[in-house]
Chains A and B, each alone.
Chain A
Amino acid sequence: MDIDKRQFLKILGISSALWVGSRFAGGISSLFGIGDKFDTKALADAGFEISKTLPDPKALTAKQWAIAIDIRQFKTADDYKKCIMVCDKIHNIPDISTKQDIKWIWEEPYNAAFPEQHNNYMGGQLKDKPVILMCNQCEFPPCVRVCPTGATFKRQDGIVMMDYHRCIGCRYCMAGCPYGSRSFNFQDPRPFLKKIDPEYPTRTKGVVEKCDFCAERLDKGLMPACVEASNGAMVFGDLRDPGSDIRKILSSNFSIRRKPELGTQPNVFYLI
């Protein structure tokens, strides 16, 4: 049989319409075969009990988590060290003695942390005093806006989270973050870890990491580790809850934030 171009296109059109139609009849989820194996709806329809995933009932929840750091209460080197060390330890953060070091929480002199607040004639202890720094979990995070893969995203409790599985290591987020809160894994971090906590994954070469307010601890009902270690010098709470500890402390103390003029609305507050 000879067929011309017109007939050929007709046959092609009709048969593909039939194919799509038949797939639709079998449920949209099975179009292209997606969900064939794990079709929970079909299982439920067939009378099977289906498994489900739930948040831990003990989990701490909020609309926007925030931390207030009372730097007046940080007096000895040890006050800083205990907050930083506990984070390094439970999150398997390596200690690398070059510029390629990884940091989630660190210290910086006041004039470096708040360059626009600094003046040469500043008196008192504040001038060179170290300040604790970490990711601000910005309300409008530039890092999230620029990430091309959705690897960094904002959780419903306001935490800016990292999904290392999706990070392609492009480092746009590092360019976007105005606070230097992010570190890149230039190499496998494991050789630089003295001890690995087996309950928390390490990272791998080529991904970016940062503080996430101990999201994994909040989801189990625990406070962030640095807050717990600070003996009250750091206060954690829901910024949208007028009755929360952090709101009380912010309403009764003068507080500043890093680079508020950028409009990122940082959620780490400093009481000075």
Chain B
Amino acid sequence: MYDSGKIITGLVLFVGLVTLPFWYSIGKAQVKPDPSLNTPVINQMKVKHCIESKQFMIDNHMELLNDWRNAVVRDNKTLYVSTTGQSFTMSLEVTCFHCHSNEKQFCNQCHSYVNIQPYCWECHVKPAEEIANGH
């Protein structure tokens, strides 16, 4: 083989580069996301239940919020009747943050873990607690 030195070095370099993300995170402990439910409002609830089941919310909250925003902004609808028959105002500020007033320990846990940056907060006002702390 001609130029075997160059080719092999090139191959080694290439494989190294492609697998760089794996090398990069070796030895770094990935902290498992642990969304906290420790807020004053949730602590006072007798039955801790979100508007829908926990699994549904984990899987679908982004689509649910997307549907909410279209319903509220574009179809003049403001109420969400959940599968349990309860109705809620479709509003991040009024409904979601009423209980989940801990953005850092709740929303950001998973969002940081999967490295997504939802830009809700550019307009929607973060829970009061976070504003008070100057964020």
Q: List the A side residues contacting B78 at CB < 8 Å.
A: 54-56, 59, 219-220
Summarize A's interface: helix, strand, loop or mixed. loop
Residues on B with C-beta less than 8 A from A106 are none
B36 within 8 A of A: no
Q: B125 at interface (Cβ–Cβ under 8 A)?
A: yes
Q: Are A37 and B125 in contact (CB under 8 A)?
A: no
Residue on B with the closest CB to A155? B76
With A199-B94, A219-B76 in contact, do A52 and B81 touch (Cβ < 8 Å)? yes
Contact check, B125 vs A53: say whether CB atoms are below 8 A apart: no
Tell me the complex Cα distance, A84–B96, Å: 30
- Asked if A198 is at the interface (CB within 8 A of a chain B CB), the reply is yes
Contacts of A202 in B (CB 8 A): 123, 125
| Interface positions of B from 78 to 96, Cβ below 8 Å from A | 78-83, 85, 87, 90-91, 93-94
A197 partner residues in chain B, CB cutoff 8 A: 125
Please tell me if the beta carbons of A201 and B90 are within 8 angstroms of each other in the complex: no
Taking a contact as CB atoms under 8 Å apart, the answer to whether B93 and A198 are in contact is yes
B128 is an interface residue with CB less than 8 A from chain A: yes
**A172 at interface, CB cutoff 8 A:** no
- Chain B residues, Cβ within 8 Å of A157: 76
Name which residue of chain B comes closest to A206, CB basis: B122
Contact across chains for A54 and B122 when beta carbons are under 8 A apart: no
- Rounded to whole Å, the gap between the CB of B125 and the closest CB of chain A is 4
One of B1-9, B24-32, B62-70, B103-111 at the interface: B62-70
Picked from A48, A53, A198, the residue with its CB within 8 Å of the CB of B71 is: A53
User: Is the C-beta of B54 less than 8 angstroms from some C-beta in chain A?
Assistant: no
Q: Does A196 contact B (CB under 8 A)?
A: yes
**In the complex, which of the residues B60, B73, B80 contacts A37, with contact meaning CB atoms closer than 8 Å?**
B60
Nearest chain B CB to A64's CB is how many angstroms away? Answer: 14
Known contacts: A164-B123, A196-B131. The answer to whether A59 contacts B76 by CB under 8 A is yes
Cα of A88 to Cα of B54 in the assembled complex, Å: 39
Does B49 reach chain A (CB closer than 8 Å)? no
CA separation between A38 and B71, bound complex, in Å?
15
* Between-chain CB contacts (< 8 Å), 6 pairs: A38-B60, A52-B81, A53-B67, A161-B74, A201-B93, A202-B125
Given contacts A53-B90, A197-B125, A198-B131, 8 further A-B contacts (CB under 8 A): A49-B85, A51-B52, A53-B68, A55-B75, A55-B76, A157-B76, A201-B124, A215-B76
